[in-house]
Amino acid sequence: MARILLIEDNDALRTTLAELIALAGHTVVEAGNGRDGLDLFTHAGADLVITDLVMPEIEGLEVVRQLRNAQSPVNVIAISGGGRASAAVYLEAARLLGAARVLHKPFTTEVLFAAIDELLPGNR
């Protein structure tokens, strides 16, 4: 299966998503903010990145931008919640910066796994 980097500052949500993704057979590497996530990607890589957009240290929009411009670009799923209007603006910005998929929280596991399956290398 795949190595997925999950960047989410909400500990409870990050733990839940990591457990679900691991149950699907993937290896999950977790980061609680954008800076740690970018460091993990630089040193260990990933087949796919799922990142929140509103986070401390480095926000998700900058994470998306840096990952799309990396020497070995990777598909990114951007996630955001909160107020519908502000989340929609962040998600659209992420899409314009190169996120392969954007998901508004809360989303179903079916929607998440469909995006993961579609974007993993070899599944396109």
pLDDT along the chain (124 residues), means of 10: 96 98 97 97 95 94 93 91 82 96 96 97 66
pLDDT of residue 70: 81
The encoded tokens of residue 78 equal 């951007």
- Rg of the Cα trace of the chain? 13
Q: Where are the domains of the chain?
A: 3-119
Please tell me whether residue 79 adopts helix, strand or coil conformation.
strand
pLDDT of residue 96: 97
The structure tokens 């990114």 sit at 76
Assigned fold of 3-119:
Rossmann fold (3.40.50)
User: Helix H segments across the chain?
Assistant: 11-23, 34-44, 60-68, 84-97, 109-119
Q: Is residue 32 left, alpha or beta, with left meaning phi > 0 and alpha meaning psi from -120 to 50?
A: alpha
pLDDT of residue 84: 67
